[in-house]
Amino acid sequence: MSYVLGAWNFRAGYLALSSSARTPAQLNTNGAVTDTTGASLQGALAPTGVPLGVLASSQKTFGAGVNYTFGPAVAGFVYSHTKLSQFFQTGLSGTFQNFEGNIRYALTSAV
């Protein structure tokens, strides 16, 4: 979702993933959420599978950002919040928050 009002640009998004997989072998190998063990990278980066992520029963992520343009400069701020439930079938959950500020300046109009 996005909204532009003059020099302001607002964006937001939400992602919810869930799976009944209990082990990495039970993940959908042809779906969007795959390969928790990194087996598809076997041979490309290492002789064995490369751990890529955390096996969790669900992931919920919300993110929002705002940019303000003034002349050749753009200043922005982004926030995201992720909650992972049931790490490795243990009942443990975790929440991650990310805050980011950024500035971009165009030295020429071609950049």
- Res 23: pLDDT: 56
Do both 38 and 83 map to the same domain?
A: no
Tens-digit pLDDT profile for the chain (111 aa)? Answer: 999 999 999 999 999 887 655 555 555 554 445 445 555 445 554 555 545 555 677 788 999 999 999 999 999 999 999 988 877 667 788 899 999 999 999 988 775
What does the alpha-carbon distance between residue 10 and residue 102 come to, in Å, rounded to a whole number? 14
When divided into structural domains, the chain yields a total of: 2
What is the number of residues in the chain?
Answer: 111
- Res 93: pLDDT: 86
Do both 40 and 68 map to the same domain?
A: no
What does the alpha-carbon distance between residue 74 and residue 101 come to, in Å, rounded to a whole number? 11
Domain span at residue 47? Answer: 23-53
At 68, which CATH number? 2.20.130
